[in-house]
Amino acid sequence: MCPRQHPPRGPGACRRGSGLAYRSLRPRPLVRDPDGGGPGRLRGLPGRRGDRHGRRRTRRVVRHRGTPAAGECRVVIRVFARTCGPGPCELSPEESHYLVRVRRARTGAAVEVLDGRGAIFSARVVAARPDRAILEIEGPIDRPAPPWDLDLLVAIPEVAATVEVVQHATALGVRTLRFVETARSHARLPSPARLERVVRSCLRQCGRPTMPTIESVSSLDEAVSRSPLPGFVGVPGARPASPWSGEAATLAVGPEGGWTDEEVARLCAAGFVPVGLGPWILRTPLAVAAGAAAVAAVRGAGPAA
Amino acid sequence: MCPRQHPPRGPGACRRGSGLAYRSLRPRPLVRDPDGGGPGRLRGLPGRRGDRHGRRRTRRVVRHRGTPAAGECRVVIRVFARTCGPGPCELSPEESHYLVRVRRARTGAAVEVLDGRGAIFSARVVAARPDRAILEIEGPIDRPAPPWDLDLLVAIPEVAATVEVVQHATALGVRTLRFVETARSHARLPSPARLERVVRSCLRQCGRPTMPTIESVSSLDEAVSRSPLPGFVGVPGARPASPWSGEAATLAVGPEGGWTDEEVARLCAAGFVPVGLGPWILRTPLAVAAGAAAVAAVRGAGPAA
């Protein structure tokens, strides 16, 4: 099922057959300081990041013992490009850097191009310059989105969990992600720029061509009023999701510490149905992933379809 | 829905109302080297880890702007104890350290005790010594497990993803987790001791009282022969999971790069049904979380029930 795009291994082919893969543990190049410090002390090159902490860059050899050659591997490189049509397409400096330096694509490599507006194209690298890569667009790829929409209503978790929530929601096809302040939520979201970087990286990994909408809402009532029904609110120990039909649904996931009883009552009064994901307490990102998958799985199932 | 157990805030009560929480960014104490190096260089205490990299320990104040006091918060502290019954119960040095130093529980704090064999007890801290804490067991907690079992068959992912897979599978109630070598899988699992630490930490977080079984299997055929049917194999773009009934099911999740066609054919020949989780490519841990939740959600739904 789930190919990760990392680590990249050259133009299109997968080097797993060689039994060796190199992984760079530290992204910053550092050198041993020739005249400073005690034995074994390390210092960064002047003017580069990493200086202060003296981090060492190492390359670790990961040997895949006993793994046979796998032939053609389905790890796909994806980049963003604003204007896409048949013919040559020049990438932005950021995307060129990602393609050539991060993913190490070479001339002739097959890639997929996301135009950010819902279209995907197959393409081939024509010029692999790290500042200005050029692709030859071959044609559109047909990968239809699900015929229904899922909105998420999430009480703001801590920043690291927020990033995970955005990653999971993006890969699972959530249309709109509403972060809401509740009695037990955090109040600080990562910056929009950071969230956009997270989403773009996730779109590259999962191949979804459209960005989800991310909103920050200060009141639960307002968030509920913007969310389509049927709605499901995650409550530990509640019954599993019941089948639903229609074009769109909403899943509400509570904060660390859970919803207050009053919040659950307000959500239920607005038409939300409590739904459980087993008897155990899930972290917010896992509850988002499991809840979104469960709600999607029961669409059209059973007597309510 | 999903209370995280971190960060701990004293005996039973939640300090969110104060609007302040302290988070220690680095777990190792380090001091500024009084007579060495240039300005601002940091070095660890001799003999402690962190020496070499000169990491700095900082405490960041996270202010929850605008978050109202939440009253009683449902963040629960859980510890393991081998022998549990009514009366006093002495914790091991590791669990005592976790309770008193990590979770900062004080005398009188309410905790839950997992005995590792399927029972949960409510208890109160009687003596909060960091090397030998003593609890007073109050009584058993009834939190029944789901009436069905889910087995997972996962092609070995990279180590970090393996840890995530184990976390997700544990919290979602997976009974047996079989890691199998496939054409595109990695071949190295984390050590059993590390996986056990991951599972124990996850059980403390989610409140599940039983450990899942984790197996490493070298051949797909052997793994399949040990797995109960109905079986579902994750294939991007396949149809959603169909309803099933019975006592147990298996979900098979492929490696980075996906199953080979031959592996999917072997799984299908053994009775597995392809199941999709939307058109996008999911990372292995997310596929495990979403797949397990989807398979659980459709049990008993629809005409097959």
The model's pLDDT over A145-192, given as tens digits with 9 standing for 90+, comes to 888 889 999 999 999 999 999 999 999 989 899 999 888 888 888 888
Residues A200, A202, A204, CA angle at the centre, nearest 5°? 70
Looking at B141, B161, B180, the residue that finishes a domain is B141
Q: Is B11 contained in some domain?
A: no
* pLDDT tens column, B122-175: 999 999 899 999 998 888 888 888 888 899 999 999 999 999 999 999 999 898
Q: Would you call B9 an interface residue with chain A, using a CB distance cutoff of 8 Å?
A: no
- Over 50: is that where the pLDDT of B226 sits? yes
Give residue A216's domain range: 149-297
Burial grade of A119 (CB within 10 A; 0-12, 13-18, 19 or more): middle
Mean pLDDT of B296-302: 76
- Average pLDDT rounded to a whole number, residues B175-204: 89
Q: Are residues B133 and B154 in the same domain?
A: no
Domain count, chain B: 2
In this complex, is the C-beta atom of B243 within 8 Å of any C-beta atom belonging to chain A? yes
Same domain, B118 and B167: no
Please classify residue A70 by burial: count the beta carbons closer than 10 Å to its beta carbon, then call 0-12 exposed, 13-18 middle and 19+ buried: buried
SS3 call for A80? strand
Residues A138 and A229 in one domain: no
* Backbone CA torsion sign across A140, A143, A147, A153: negative
Chain B residues lying within 8 Å of A40, measured CB to CB: 52
pLDDT (tens place) for every residue of chain A, 305 residues total = 444 444 444 333 333 333 333 333 332 222 222 333 333 222 222 233 333 454 544 444 343 433 333 444 557 899 988 766 778 888 989 899 999 999 898 898 899 998 878 888 899 999 989 999 999 888 888 888 888 889 999 999 999 999 999 999 999 989 899 999 888 888 888 888 899 889 999 998 888 888 888 988 888 888 889 888 888 998 887 888 888 888 889 999 998 888 888 999 999 999 899 988 888 889 999 999 999 999 988 887 654 33
Domain termination site, one of B141, B164, B190: B141
Residues B240 and B181 both lie in one domain: yes
Sign of CA dihedral B286, B288, B289, B292: positive
pLDDT at residue B302, as a whole number: 53
Chain A residue with minimal CA distance to B37? A37
CA distance A131 to chain B (A): 28
Quick check: A181 contacting B, CB < 8 Å?
yes
B179 vs B195: CA distance, rounded Å:
12
Chain B interface test: which of A2, A77, A154 (most B C-beta within 10 Å) = A2
Percentage of chain B beyond pLDDT 70 is 73
Same domain for A286 and A196, yes or no, is yes
CA A47, A53, A58, A62 torsion-angle sign: negative
- Residue A43 corresponds to which amino acid? R
Question: Which of A168, A187, A260 has its CB closest to that of B64?
Answer: A187
**Mean pLDDT confidence for B89-108:** 90
Inside any domain, residue A129: yes
Per the domain annotation, does B190 fall within a domain? yes
* Residue A290 included in any domain: yes
Same domain? A155 vs A238: yes
Identify whether residues A170 and A205 lie together within a single domain: yes
Q: What confidence score (pLDDT) does residue A178 get?
A: 92
**Element containing residue A197 per DSSP (H, E):** helix A192-206
Average pLDDT, chain B: 75
Contact A278 B75 (CB under 8 A): no
Domain boundary among B112, B141, B170: B141
CA A106, CA A100: separation in Å to the nearest integer?
7
Is the domain of A155 the same as that of A263?
Answer: yes
CB A146 within 8 A of CB A178: no
Residue A249's SS3 state is: strand
Determine the residue of chain B that is closest to A40 in CA distance.
Answer: B52
Q: If you measure CA to CA, which chain B residue comes closest to A297?
A: B294
Inform me whether the C-beta atom of residue A116 falls under 8 Å from chain B C-beta atoms.
Answer: no
C-beta atoms of A281 and B186 within 8 A: no
Flag whether B44 is in a domain. Answer: no
Residue A57 lies in a domain: no
Instruction: Tell me which of B193 and B75 has the higher pLDDT.
Output: B193
Of A37, A281, A291, the CB nearest to B206: A281
> Hey, what are A228's tokens?
């389509």
**Looking at the structure, do residues B263 and B227 belong to the same domain, yes or no?**
yes
Query: Does pLDDT of B300 surpass 50?
Result: yes
Q: Based on the domain organization, do A175 and A106 belong to the same domain?
A: no
Q: Which among A103, A92, A102 is positioned nearest to A135, based on CA atoms?
A: A92
Contact B241, A293 (CB under 8 A): no
Q: What is the CATH number of the domain that holds A15?
A: 2.40.240.20
A155 and A126 belong to one structural domain: no
Q: How far is B288 from chain A (nearest CA, A)?
A: 9
Q: Give the CATH number, domain containing residue A216.
A: 3.40.1280.10
CB contact (8 A) between residue A260 and residue B70: yes
Q: What is the pLDDT of residue A48?
A: 37
Instruction: Give B47's pLDDT tier (boundaries 50, 70, 90).
Output: very low
Clarify whether residues A131 and A221 are in a common domain: no
Is B35 a member of any domain? no
**Encoding tokens for residue A216?**
């920050």
Interface list for A 204-223 with B (CB within 8 A) = 205-208
Percent of chain A with pLDDT over 90: 24
- Asked if the structure places residue A303 within a domain, the reply is no
Question: Cβ contact (<8 Å) for A282 and B1?
Answer: yes
